Amino acid sequence: MVLGRRAFLTVLGASALGSTAGCLGRERVVPADETDAEWPSVPSIVNVPEDAHTVTTHVVGHRGLDDVLAGEPIGVVVANGANSSTEVTISIERRDLFSWTSLYDGRHGLAAPTRIDFILRNPATYRIRLSTPDHEAEKQIPESDFDCNDKAYSLVVTDEEIAQSSISTTAGCGF
């Protein structure tokens, strides 16, 4: 009887590991040059300076064959639109069942005007926090925003505040 129980538990453990094999590590954050990053097809974001140079692009998560109907990735821009350089702290978290999971925490010195881009690939609820020595802001992106439309959000440091904006295509998402 003990052997049957052990065999059952072994099979159960192996099947649990096999069923999660495609899910583990999906929320990696990698520089865009290490993966096939594609920025959402949206016009310029209103409050991001037109002459802002992209310092780096990070890709959050990856897509597999099982993500065919997952919706379009979402772009997030963190930019310095102030008149001088500033130190920023960026935090990106994903909402799990009962808590937030940290995916990215970084400190950057951003010259004016520069930007850091993030591409969120996996549908989930995300929280982006941005802080400078003088200001703090938070933007939540609901999982429902991962649909057939291209979207981008921005958090832009100005001399007075951290301004937020968004832009989206309106494809109509009907099947």
Look at residue 17 in the predicted model and tell me its pLDDT: 40
pLDDT at 55 over 90: yes
3-state SS assignment for residue 118: strand
Where do the DSSP E strands lie in 65-150?
A: 74-80, 86-95, 100-110, 114-120, 126-131, 136-141
CA–CA distance, 28 with 26 (Å, rounded to integer): 6
Residue 159 CA: distances (Å) to CA of 7, 93, 152, 156: 65, 26, 23, 10
Look at residue 169 in the predicted model and tell me its pLDDT: 86
Look at residue 30 in the predicted model and tell me its pLDDT: 58
The string of pLDDT tens digits covering residues 105-158 is: 999 999 999 999 999 988 899 999 999 999 999 999 999 998 888 899 999 999
Please report the domains of the chain, with CATH numbers, ordered by start residue. Answer: 25-168 (2.60.40.1120)
Whole-model pTM over 0.85: no
Look at residue 47 in the predicted model and tell me its pLDDT: 86
Is residue 119 within 8 A of residue 29, CB to CB? The reply is: no
The DSSP letter of residue 11 is H
pLDDT at 65 over 50: yes
Lowest-pLDDT range of 2-6, 71-75, 137-141 = 2-6
| Total length of the chain | 175
Look at residue 66 in the predicted model and tell me its pLDDT: 57
Is residue 153 within 8 A of residue 145, CB to CB? The reply is: no
Look at residue 122 in the predicted model and tell me its pLDDT: 87
Lowest-pLDDT range of 60-64, 96-100, 120-124 = 60-64
pLDDT at 59 over 70: yes
Laid out side by side, the sheet with 53-60 consists of 29-31, 53-60, 114-120, 74-80, 151-157, 162-168
The string of pLDDT tens digits covering residues 7-47 is: 554 554 444 444 333 343 445 665 555 455 677 777 777 78
- Helices assigned H by DSSP within the chain: 2-20
